[in-house]
Amino acid sequence: MCHTTHSASIEGHTLKQTLYPQFKLLLVDDEPSFLRSMSLTLERYGFNNLITCTDPKQVAKIMADEYVGLVLLDLTMPTMSGQEILTWLNEEFPDVCVIIFSGINQVDAAVDCVKRGAFDYIVKTTDQEQILEAIKRAIHTQELSLENQALRAQLLSQDLEKADCFTDFVTADPKMMSTFRYLESISNSSQPVLITGESGVGKELIAGAIHELSERTGPLVTVNVAGLDDNIFSDTLFGHAKGAFTGADRVRPGLVESAAGGTLFLDEIGDLSPTSQIKLLRLLQEGEYYPIGSDRPKRIQARVIVATHQDLVQQQQNGHFRKDLYYRLRTHMVRIPPLRERLNDLPLLIEHFVHAASKELQKPPINIPSNLIKQLHRYEFPGNVRELRALVFDAVSQSQNNELSLIPFTSVIDASNQSYTHQNVLFSEDEPLPSLTQLNKLLVEEAMRRANHNQSLASRMLGISQPALSKRLKNMKVGSD
Ligand SMILES: Nc1ncnc2c1ncn2[C@@H]1O[C@H](COP(=O)(O)OP(=O)(O)OP(=O)(O)O)[C@@H](O)[C@H]1O
C-alpha cells in the first residue's frame, strides 16, 4: 500500500499547499502505525511532500513513477529487508539519499548500511527533535547536490532556457549572461539568494527575475529593511497575535505569511539591526518563526532573496553583520557589476530608456547622436543604471527637433571631470590632438599648480632647470599677451 500527501483539507475544501521539499520523501515501513505517526510529525514541521509505503515490493514502482529525493527506510520488513532495498537503490538511483530506520538492537546493521552508502541512520526510539534534525540535514544535502547537478548541466549549455524572465533587465554583457544561467540553474532551490552590487545596478530587477524563474504561484513581497527597528521588523515580517501589545486589537499576519508560496525579498539587508539579524537567522535555519505575542511557531512557505549594496564581508569583519547569517545567506550569491564595468551595455540601455521616456513623455521618435556613447565612456556612473535612466529621461524631455539633447550628459561629465581634466591630459578620439606647444604649456601650468607656484619645485617635476622654466613661463606669458 502506498499513500501520497500533498494537500490539506479544511471544512471540506481542498487547499493547494506549497510542497516541501521539492522532491518526494518516501517512507517505507511495514508498520502502518509508525508510518502514520512519522508522517504526522513531518507534516507538522512543514515536510508535506510525502509518500508512505507499507509494502517494500512497491518501492521499485514508486521510484519509477515519482521524483523521489530522500528515502526513509525501515531495516526489518517481512518481504524484503532494508539492506536489500538499499543495495538496489544504490545501483538504480545512486543520487537518491537514504536514511535507515532501525530498532535499538539493530544499530550494528544500521551502521553497516551507512558504510554501504546510506546517508545516515536513525534509531526509531530517538526523540523527535533529533529525528527531524537528521531528516533536515539529509534534505539540505540533497537539495545542494541536486542544485549542483543542475548548475553543471546549465553551465555546459550556453543558451538561456527561460530568457523571458530576464526581459526587464536589458544587457548583452557576457558576465551578466553567465549570471542569468546560474540563476536559471538554482531556480528550483528553496535556499536563500544573496544579491550584491552598488546602488542602482538593478538588484531589485534581478530579484524579480529570480521570482519569475522559480515559477512559484505565490506573490513576490518586497520589504526594505533599512532603518526598521527590531520591533517594527518583527511586526512587519512575523505579524502579531491579538492583544500582543497595546493597540494590537486584531491578529495581523506578517509579510512572511503574505509571501507564502512565493518569494520574500528583503532589500538593504546590510542595514539590519543586530537583534533582527538573529531573528532572520532563525527563520532561515529553522524555517519557523513566532508572530509577536504567540507561542505557536509558524513555518515559512516562501523563498527568501536578500540584497545589499554594502560589502558584507567587510561588514562582518568590523562586527556589523553576523558571520553565521552571512554564511547562511551566501548559499547562492550573485554580484551585479557596476555599469562602468559593462559599458558595452550603454547603447542597448540608452535606446531602451529613450524609447521608454519618449512613450511616457509622449514625444515623437528621437535620434541618439552618434558621439554620445563615446563621450559616456569617460564617465564613471556612480549612480549606475538608475543614474543613466534619469539622465536619459531628462535628455528626452529637453530634446528638440527629434534629436536627443546632450546637455544633461555633458554637464555631469564636465562636473566629474573638472578636477580630473586639470590633473590629466585626456585625448578624446573625437577631437584633434593638441600640438606639442599646447602640450608643453599644459604641462608647465600643471607643474606650477602642483608646486604651488614654487618655480624650483616645479622645474624638478618637469626635469628642467629653474632658469629654463622661468624662460618658458615668460615665453608663455608673451604668447598669451
Ligand atoms: N539592466 C537594466 N535594464 C533596464 N533597467 C534597469 C537595469 N538595471 C537597472 N534598471 C533600472 O534602474 C533603476 C534602479 O534599479 P534597481 O532598483 O533594480 O537597482 P538596485 O540595485 O536595487 O538599487 P538600490 O541598491 O538603490 O536599491 C530601476 O528603475 C530599474 O528599472
87-103: pLDDT as tens digits:
999 888 988 999 999 98
Whether residue 259 has pLDDT greater than 60: yes
pLDDT in tens, 407-432: 999 988 888 766 454 445 566 666 77
pLDDT in tens, 67-85: 999 999 999 998 899 999 9
pLDDT in tens, 340-374: 999 989 989 998 999 999 999 988 888 898 889 88
Mean pLDDT of 187-202: 93
Q: Which residues contact 107 (CB under 8 A, 6 or more apart)?
A: 121, 123
Q: What is the DSSP string of 260-315?
A: TTSEEEEE-GGG--HHHHHHHHHHHHHSEE--BT--S-EE--SEEEEEESS-HHHH
Give residue ranges with CB within 6 A of ligand 1: 169-171, 197, 199-205, 267, 309, 352, 385-386, 389
Q: Which residues contact 408 (CB under 8 A, 6 or more apart)?
A: 391, 394, 395, 398
Distance 386 CA to ligand 1 centre (A): 6
pLDDT in tens, 93-143: 988 999 999 988 888 888 899 888 898 999 988 888 889 989 998 998 888
HSE-up of residue 417 (Cα within 13 Å, Cβ side): 16
Distance 104 CA to ligand 1 centre (A): 58
Distance 450 CA to ligand 1 centre (A): 40
Whether residue 6 has pLDDT greater than 70: no
- Topology of domain 436-480 in CATH is Arc Repressor Mutant, subunit A (1.10.10)
pLDDT in tens, 205-247: 999 999 999 999 999 999 999 888 999 999 999 999 998 888 8
Confidence of residue 462 (pLDDT cuts 50, 70, 90): confident
The CATH number of domain 2-151 is 3.40.50.2300? yes
Give the atom of ligand 1 at the shortest distance from the alpha carbon of 170.
3
HSE-up of residue 223 (Cα within 13 Å, Cβ side): 25
Whether residue 10 has pLDDT greater than 50: no
Say if 157-336 and 340-423 have the same CATH topology: no
CA neighbor of 294 nearest in space, from 213, 372, 238: 238
* Boundaries of every domain in the chain: 2-151, 157-336, 340-423, 436-480
Q: Which CATH number fits domain 340-423: 1.10.8.60, 1.10.3720.10, 1.10.10.410, 1.20.1530.20?
A: 1.10.8.60
Q: What's the whole-model pTM score?
A: 0.65
Domain 157-336 belongs to what architecture? 3-Layer(aba) Sandwich (3.40)
Strands 24-28 and 68-74: parallel
Q: Extract the runs of DSSP E, i.e. beta strands, from 135-206.
A: 193-196
